[in-house]
Amino acid sequence: MIIWINGSFGVGKTTIANALKLEIKDSLIYDPENVGEFLFNIMPEKKDDFQDYELWRTLNFEILKDLNRSHRVTIVPMTITNKKYYNEIIGNLRNEGIIVYDFILTATKEEIAKRLDKRGNSTGWAYAQVDKFISAFKNFNGYQIDTTNISVDKVADNILNTIIKKGELKNEQRRNV
């Protein structure tokens, strides 16, 4: 199974992914940005966003498909707002029979800005993307969780309980039960 944590920069994807990893036995975190950074460094044609490389989408689909064979749960903290790209990875994984839970973390624009400030984001690029992300996720299917006034533990529990209710994760697969 794959747990995809989607949402704006600064909404808490990596924090929640780390909390889930601590809770789920035999889980791992996979970050598709590593493939993107690699491609940025080697591709002769430069793009503004590594997700625009078809190779990025293909490689991540193949890597996730392979990881699914060897691990019970793969946790992916990654923002994808382009539905075509989303379908090329997540849709194709599902077409392969792989269970993918897509959780979209949301928060108010003010809360996201506060979190970006807290982590020391000084480029301004992430701030400039927030409105686009907030708008894009209104049209996405997936389990939306407003993280504005909820603790990390409660968000992680919400995700875990959703998956347990669907029968894809058993309580005994949790570390801290």
Domains and CATH numbers, the chain: 2-168 (3.40.50.300)
Q: In whole angstroms, what separates CA 25 from the centre of its chain?
A: 19
Q: Which amino acid is at 131?
A: D
Q: Are 92 and 61 in contact (CB under 8 A)?
A: yes
| Spans of the chain, pLDDT less than 70 | 121-123, 171-172, 175-177
What does each C-alpha distance from 42 to 36, 37, 63, 72 come to in angstroms?
10, 9, 19, 32
The whole-number pLDDT of residue 22 equals 94
- CA atoms of 72 and 111, how far apart (whole Å): 33
pLDDT digits 0-9 by tens, 42-93: 888 888 889 999 999 999 999 999 999 987 899 999 999 899 999 999 999 9
pLDDT at 150: 92
